[in-house]
Amino acid sequence: MSAADSPAAASCGICGLIERIRGSSFADFIAELEHHYVILGDAQFYRGYCALLFKRHVMELHRLAPEIARSAFDEVLAVARAIDAAVHPIRLNYENLGNQEPHLHWHIFPRSADDPMRLAPVWMRPEAERKVTLDDRERRALIESLRAELARILR
Ligand SMILES: [Zn+2]
């Protein structure tokens, strides 16, 4: 079944991303889990930032069956542990918003001690500063490291 089968999903940016992941045309793909696709996020000022995209076009976490929500949250924790192991942040920030893209997804941002805006939410940093792209070699190495840590944690 396509992620974009419902009319609401047809214009959804996250369903569009999922279609690209399934078509193997998304370079920042990290892993496929039972409930989510995991990708390296586009704001690598926060090096190691990942997003989890729920595989179905669901709008709200609380509308999932409780056992599905718990199982999906276990995947959020696993990705958090993988980021922690790969980049050693001082802490992680978790975001489940859906204001711009009303398709269930999580952002996990590693925060570092040398960030002058470390007390502020990540979104306070101007988009042009946030949306840093790593050079290709570093990006690939980081994806491999996150993928390996995630596999180790889920083993
Ligand atoms: Zn969607």
CA of 58 to the centre of ligand 1 (A): 7
CA of 96 to the centre of ligand 1 (A): 14
Find out whether 142 and 134 touch, Cβ atoms under 8 Å: yes
pLDDT tier, 152 (very low <50, low <70, confident <90, very high otherwise): very high
Convert the pLDDT of each residue in 9-50 to its tens digit.
Answer: 778 999 999 999 999 989 999 999 999 999 999 999 999 999
Full-model pTM: 0.93
Give Cβ neighbours of residue 105 (< 8 Å, ≥ 6 apart): 14, 51, 52, 53, 54, 96, 98
Q: Check residue 26 and give its pLDDT.
A: 93
pLDDT tier, 5 (very low <50, low <70, confident <90, very high otherwise): low
pLDDT tier, 4 (very low <50, low <70, confident <90, very high otherwise): low
CA of 15 to the centre of ligand 1 (A): 4
CATH class of 7-154: alpha beta
CA of 118 to the centre of ligand 1 (A): 31
